[in-house]
Amino acid sequence: MAERDSDNVTLKTLHDDLTGGFAEVRSSMAEGFAETRSALAEGFAETRSALAEGFAETRSALAEGFAEMRTGFADLKVTLITGFRGLATRESSEEMVRLLREGNRLNEERSTQLDLRIREQHLETQQVLHAVAEGQRLLVDGQRSMSADIKGLSGDIKGLTGDIKSLIARLDALIRGRDNGEPTR
C-alpha cells in the first residue's frame, strides 16, 4: 500500500511541479532581457566609436590642409620679401610679378587639393552618418518587434496560467470526488 501512495499525484506535488516550471520560465525571460540589453549597449558603443573615428579623421584632414595652406603662405611671404629687396630695376619687378604669379598658381593648386580632400571627407562623414541613422532605425524596429513579441509572450503566459488554474481545479474536484483520495479500482 505504501508504494501506491508514492505513485499518487497530490496537490502538493502538482503545486511543486508548477512552481518549478514557472521559476524556469521567469529565469529564461530574465536571461533573454539581459542578453537583449547587452546587445543594445554594444550596438550603441560601436555606433559611438564609428562616429568618433569619422570625426577624428575629418578633423585630422582639415588640420593637414590648413598646415599646407600656412606653409604656402609662408613660402609666398618669403618670396615676396625676397622679391621686394631687389626692386630697383625693371627686370626685378618683372621677376617679382612672375614669382607672384607662380605663388598664386601654387596656392590655387593647394586650395584645389584641399577642397577635394574636404569634399571627400564630407562624403565619408555623410556615409557614416547615414549608416548610423540606418543602424539606429533597425535597432528601433528590432526593439518594437521585441516589445510586440514580449507582449504576445505575456498574453500566452496569462492564458497558460488560466489553463493551469483550471487543471488544478479539475484535479482537485476529481480528488475530492473520491472519499479517501485513493484511486478507484
pLDDT tens, the chain, 185 aa long:
334 455 677 888 888 888 888 888 888 888 888 888 888 888 888 888 888 888 888 888 888 888 888 888 888 888 887 776 665 567 777 888 889 999 999 999 999 999 999 999 999 999 999 999 999 999 999 999 999 899 888 888 888 898 898 999 888 888 887 655 555 54
Domain-located, residue 33:
no
- pLDDT confidence of residue 116: 93
Sign of the torsion angle spanned by Cα atoms 90, 94, 96, 97: positive
Domain-located, residue 64:
yes
C-alpha cell at 16: 511543486
Kindly report the pTM of this predicted structure: 0.35
Domain-located, residue 63:
yes
Domain-located, residue 90:
yes
- Residues spanned by the domain of 160: 48-171
- pLDDT confidence of residue 140: 92
Domain-located, residue 27:
no
- pLDDT confidence of residue 102: 93
- pLDDT confidence of residue 5: 52
Q: How many domains does the chain have?
A: 1
What one-character-per-residue DSSP string does the chain give?
A: -HHHHHHS--HHHHHHHHHHHHHHHHHHHHHHHHHHHHHHHHHHHHHHHHHHHHHHHHHHHHHHHHHHHHHHHHHHHHHHHHHHHTTTSHHHHHHHHHHHHHHHHHHHHHHHHHHHHHHHHHHHHHHHHHHHHHHHHHHHHHHHHHHHHHHHHHHHHHHHHHHHHHHHHHHHHHHHHSSSSPPP-
Domain-located, residue 102:
yes
- pLDDT confidence of residue 110: 93
